[in-house]
């Protein structure tokens, strides 16, 4: 568990994570509204040299150009849909050649890669707690 006291610390956590990422990596970020999912994504993007990251809530996904493209997805509108798997597939994400971060990434997103980081943000107190679960052989032994 990582304790995060400020939005700046959440942003810094994203930058720290970015140092470990390479093409094909998938990050699933979950937590309630206002937990800091987009701030974490902005930190990851900053670490990859990407600026201007905003929540893709209404457009669902954005591809940010960088040495390794950074795909930022907000699956919030897909989760409650009739068939979230179908809609996620329709996005035609180039996960193999990009770093992909999916906010609200549940089971429908987890099936996209056997190797992923599942990040859960809890904001039940004044400070956020972040749990990072490494899944698959790519992330064996990972820790921050």
DSSP conformational letter for 75: -
Do you know the residue count of the chain?
Answer: 144
Q: Which domains does the chain have, with CATH numbers?
A: 2-138 (3.40.50.300)
Residue 12, by phi and psi: left (phi above 0), alpha (psi -120 to 50) or beta? alpha
Average pLDDT by stretches of 10, the chain with 144 residues:
95 97 96 94 96 74 87 76 57 86 86 94 93 96 91
For position 84, what pLDDT does the model report? Answer: 52
Distance CA 45, CA 85 (A): 26
pLDDT at 87: 60
Identify the three-state secondary structure at position 120.
strand
> Cα separation of 69 and 72, whole Å?
10
């Amino acid at each position: 568990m990582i304790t995060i006291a400020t939005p700046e610390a959440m942003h810094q956590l994203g930058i720290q994570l970015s140092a470990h990422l390479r093409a094909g990596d998938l990050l699933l970020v979950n937590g309630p509204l206002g937990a800091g999912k987009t701030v974490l994504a902005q930190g990851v993007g900053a670490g990859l040299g990407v600026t201007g990251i905003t929540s893709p809530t209404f457009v669902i996904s954005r591809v940010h150009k960088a040495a390794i493209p950074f795909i930022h997805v907000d699956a919030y509108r897909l989760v409650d849909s009739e068939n979230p798997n179908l809609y996620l597939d329709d996005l035609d994400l180039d996960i193999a050649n990009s770093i992909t971060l999916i906010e609200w990434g549940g089971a429908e997103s987890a099936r996209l890669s056997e190797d992923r980081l599942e990040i859960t943000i809890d904001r039940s107190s004044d400070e956020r707690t972040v749990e990072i679960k490494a899944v698959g052989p790519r992330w064996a032994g990972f820790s921050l």
